[in-house]
Amino acid sequence: MYYKHTICFLKLAIINQQSAISHYDFIITGAGCAGLSLLMRLLQEPSLSSKQILIIDQTPKNKNDRTWCFWETSAGLFEAIVHHRWHDIQFLSQQFSNTIAIAPYTYKMIHGLEFYNYVIQFAQQFPNVTFKYDTVKSIVNHHKSVEVKLNYVSFTADFVFNSIIFQQPELPKGKYYLLQHFKGWVINTQQPAFNPNMATFMDFTVSQQHGTTFMYVLPTSTTEALVEYTLFTEALLAETDYDDALKNYIKKQLGITEYTIEHEEFGIIPMTNIDFPNYDGRIVNIGIAGGQAKGSSGYAFQFIQKRTEQIVHSLVKNQHPFTKTTFSDKKFKFYDSVLLNVLHHKKLNGDAVFADIFQKNSPNTIFRFLDNNSNLLEDIQIMNSVPITVFLKAALQELFI
């Protein structure tokens, strides 16, 4: 079976019961990547680990509903549950293909269920932490507290950290809203078919008829890999289209005809330059609701880690846990808008843009740029690697919208 370890089910008597406590120091609405990352950091901080904390989600996190892949130069908070690591990646396109050593970076994979279990098991050591499963109806600011309204009960807190998007944001003029949508299969083969030391980071050699489209191939052994079909478009495909693309790629590009599907996952991440509010009074937005998905790539895991670390740092200093928008934030938001402009208006194909970037820049420069950590010189290097006329026109449009 794909998962051979025992699923961790919460056995706390307080779960799904009305708590005797009605006011908490912190309430976390949404127990996904952002909510549980924040919880882990709060509990590892001695000055905050005894705070009364309530985590609310609709259902227990007992399914492997997603996989996170990201890159780091050192061990991170969740190093203990990294499922696999790669030091070499492959980039493929019609314009440029190469195998790239990415040191000092390591490309890492974490399974959703292992992440949920890891944090929840750790949290069970703290009697001041309560999990409740119910639907959050609304979150309302009061003068010195925040009220979270559920189906039949309400709770208040000093601060609420919210990762729920209650309604689709409006799309004002000059804003773009693409979808990064993907379907992945974990497949097993009887005979060795993969190199577990190398990840196919992006394979753009597949059809681009729907828009920017590529495949990930992430081998975890010689006989097992996650194969994922990913698109950047404005609309989803029919369900059979994802399956057909995966079958075709596995057969024709990978040359595999006999395999079993051990697991499948489907996801949608917004790629947008819409301004998600950082906070509203004592409501602090995190995750995608807080704008932690990078607009031009959809990457979110490491931006969530950076954001939750900043929140904890502010709380330790008894400061309001919102993050000020810096010049660097504005700079990268502008870069994201320019690329979204190019993709939305189909001024260039996405595969050609990424091919230029990977062909003309070092992996260190690329990853720093994608992490919003590049300096001005590195920014200029990236800009010089793409068609200047197209991107300059898009940049001027974004400046004067």
pLDDT of 345-375, one tens digit each?
999 999 999 999 999 999 999 999 999 999 9
Superfamily of segment(s) 23-63+111-169+276-316: FAD/NAD(P)-binding domain (3.50.50.60)
pTM recorded for the entire structure? 0.92
pLDDT score of 20: 57
DSSP label of 375: -
Each residue of 43-98: pLDDT tens digit?
999 999 999 999 999 999 999 999 999 999 999 999 999 999 999 999 999 999 99
- Alpha carbon distance 19, 232 (integer Å): 43
Note whether 259 and 265 are within 8 A (CB).
no
Please give the C-alpha separations between residue 353 and each of 39, 72, 95, 169, 289, in angstroms, as whole numbers.
38, 24, 10, 28, 28
pLDDT score of 401: 73
- Alpha carbon distance 347, 324 (integer Å): 34
Instruction: Kindly report the CATH class assigned to 177-272.
Output: alpha beta
- Alpha carbon distance 366, 96 (integer Å): 16
For residue 42, give both structure tokens: 């709060």
DSSP label of 104: T
The SS3 call for residue 173 is coil
| Residue 14, pLDDT above cutoff 60 | no
Q: Distance between alpha carbon 280 and the CA centroid of its chain, in Å? A: 23
- Alpha carbon distance 96, 242 (integer Å): 25
Residue among 331, 263, 320 at smallest CA distance from 296: 331
Domain boundaries, the chain: 23-63+111-169+276-316, 177-272, 328-399
Each residue of 172-217: pLDDT tens digit?
888 999 999 999 999 999 999 999 999 999 999 999 999 999 999 9
- Alpha carbon distance 8, 81 (integer Å): 14
Which residues share a beta bridge with 219? 225
- Helix, strand, coil percentages, rounded to 5, for the chain: 30, 30, 40
Peptide bond into 104 cis (omega under 30): yes
Q: What is the 3-state secondary structure (H, E, C) of 193-240?
A: CCCCCEEEEEECCCCCCCCEEEEEEEECCCCEEEEEEEEEECCCCCHH
Each residue of 233-286: pLDDT tens digit?
999 999 999 999 999 999 999 999 999 999 999 999 999 999 888 899 999 999
DSSP label of 279: E
